[in-house]
Structure 1
Amino acid sequence: MFSPTTDNPPRAGIHYVLRMAEAAVRTAVPDDVAELARIQVSTWQTGFADLLPPDVLAGLDTAAAGEPLARVIEQGPAVVHVATEGPWVVGFCVTGPAPESESAAANDVPVPDAQTVALVGTLLVEPRWGRRGHAGRLLAAAGAAAAAAGSTRGICWVPERNKSLVGFFRRAGWAPDGVVRTLDAGGQPLREVRMTGPLTLDLR
Structure 2
Amino acid sequence: MALFSEQADVSVRPAVPGDELAIAATQLAAWRAAHADTLGPDVLAQLDGAAFAERWAQAITAPPGRGYRVLVACEGADVVGFAAVAPVAAPEDTPLAAPGGELLALEVAPASQRVGHGSRLLAAAVDLLREDGADHLQTWVLDGDVARAQFLTSAGLGADDAVRALATGTGRDGEPLSVNEHRWSATI
TM bin (shorter chain): 0.7 to 0.9
TM-score, reference length from structure 2: 0.85
Q: Of the candidates 189, 194, 198, which is equivalent to residue 178 of structure 2?
A: 189
Q: Of the candidates 25, 37, 41, which is equivalent to residue 24 of structure 2?
A: 37
Consecutive unaligned residues in structure 2, runs of 5 or more? 171-176
Deviation at 1:189, TM superposition (A): 2.4
CA contact (8 A) 2:34 2:145 kept: no
C-alpha distance in structure 1 between counterparts of 2:111 and 2:72, whole Å: 16
Give RMSD over aligned pairs: 2.2
CA contact (8 A) 2:168 2:178 kept: yes
| Structure 2 partner of 1:167 | 150
Structure 1 consecutive aligned stretches of length 4 or more whose deviation exceeds 2 Å? 17-21, 110-115, 186-189
Say how many residue pairs are matched.
Answer: 176
Query: Could you say what secondary structure the match of 2:19 adopts?
Result: helix
Deviation digits for residues 82-103 of structure 1 (CA, Å, limit 9, x no counterpart): 00112211100000112x5xx8
Q: Of the candidates 42, 49, 62, which is equivalent to residue 36 of structure 2?
A: 49
Same amino acid, percent of matched pairs: 35
Deviation at 1:18, TM superposition (A): 8.7
Query: Does 2:5 match 1:26?
Result: no
CA contact (8 A) 2:22 2:80 kept: no
AA aligned opposite 2:100:
V
Query: Does 2:80 match 1:90?
Result: yes
TM-score, reference length from structure 1: 0.79
Q: How does 1:58-137 map to 2 (within 5 A)?
A: 58-76=45-63, 77=65, 78-98=68-88, 110-112=92-94, 116-137=99-120
Deviation at 1:40, TM superposition (A): 1.1
C-alpha distance in structure 2 between counterparts of 1:80 and 1:145, whole Å: 11
Query: Could you say what secondary structure the match of 1:30 adopts?
Result: coil
- Tell which structure's C-alpha radius of gyration is larger: 1
